[in-house]
Structure 1
């Protein structure tokens, strides 16, 4: 049985370009500070890789292509020691595009989350994502506030209603300005807890261009820290 101190959080971007990967990386870092450790996992195993988002593309260590033949449970300690590490250990696609069986992804994530908290930056529509959602403790859906983006979020949430295994699903919104009363009504219509609102911040983009880990400063860090602390507290209450 997975310890209550080791949650699995799955992050999904309802639309492209909203910074779901940035949110996942920042959340993993803040969770590591509250829980002692956390690992960030790239759920898009054929994508460009979270390495580029986190500035760890030149750090040696195993990527998904190196683990494609793994079967069954593996040592969490050995996996962590072999991964590239920025603010937290990171298992990235590495941009190789190499095929990785869903079974290997599930075995690796299962081996890790038995010991440490795991944040997965998942890809909407991937078959393995549905399996990951079944065992997730929390699902964070990142959505914009424009009409098309909200429609994307509503469609994604409708699918999660029957496919997330009872996980706690919450919204992280992203937009150019603060949430107005009118937008708050729209968010309320989505019928999920509103975890955080992230205003567009040019500093986040500049930090990424410098190769810094996302969210080391500013509002992004503060919002992720608040959400991470709430998750830790709720898990602790569940253990009481």
Structure 2
């Protein structure tokens, strides 16, 4: 029997969708699960505290534990281990929006994120345009931008990348890469699109009805199939990159 990896400190990955409906939440959940396999732990965090709740994507909306509104009054660093233990757990511990997220200030979000990062890797399912997102990106080791291949979607991607990389952009210390999404398998034009965007291509996701059916059954995204394999390859690249940097 292969021993489970020992939990160790790891990176913060912020996932952003350049457009609506490109699968940022699904990718966040699948990536967090694979990072947990390779690092020994990973926390998945809903970066949109005013949204409907990432736990709906992960099928954990009925699992008891803390959500963002429960942490609205937290200020300063606190025990990351205690926070992790108090979170709902599916495939990984998940801090989701829920209830009245409008009462959660950015300061509380950042204090919680900083506390949780002391315990190991984290994936944040972010929202471009949210007031807290620049500070989250500034803390990130890498940013994954989900990009559709339609004309409007590519225009959205260019706008987001321009904001991230501009003079006042928060991503100057982060590695920004794109995950493309389309109904087709990886095609030659994807390489052309990525070259025009000017950032690294992390992976290509083809529309998969199995992922949608799994979601309708309340299953965690990416437990099997192409989505799992793709997220695993990206997670391994991240682990290997950190190992090379530490060498």
On whether the aligned pair clears a TM of 0.5, the verdict is yes
User: What residue number does 1:158 align with?
Assistant: 162
Tell me the TM-score normalised to structure 2 length: 0.94
Picking from 164, 169, 181, the partner of 1:174 is 181
User: What residue number does 1:211 align with?
Assistant: 218
User: What residue number does 2:110 align with?
Assistant: 106
User: What residue number does 1:43 align with?
Assistant: 47
CA RMSD in angstroms comes to: 1.3
Tell me the TM-score normalised to structure 1 length: 0.96
* Aligned-residue offset at 1:208: 0.3
User: What residue number does 1:193 align with?
Assistant: 200
CA contact (8 A) 1:4 1:239 kept: no
User: What residue number does 2:191 align with?
Assistant: 184
> Which secondary structure does the structure 2 equivalent of 1:224 belong to?
helix
Q: How does 1:115-134 map to 2 (within 5 A)?
A: 115-134=119-138
Question: Which runs of 5 or more structure 2 residues have no equivalent in the other structure?
Answer: 1-6
Distance 1:186 1:93 in 2: 34
* Aligned-residue offset at 1:114: 1.6
**Structure 1 residue 93 and structure 2 residue 97: aligned?**
yes
**Structure 1 residue 60 and structure 2 residue 67: aligned?**
no
CA contact (8 A) 2:9 2:118 kept: no
Distance 1:95 1:14 in 2: 26
CA contact (8 A) 1:76 1:112 kept: yes
Instruction: Single out whichever of 50-59 and 162-171 deviates more from structure 2.
Output: 162-171
* Aligned-residue offset at 1:183: 3.0
CA contact (8 A) 2:69 2:99 kept: no
Distance 2:170 2:66 in 1: 31
User: What residue number does 1:202 align with?
Assistant: 209
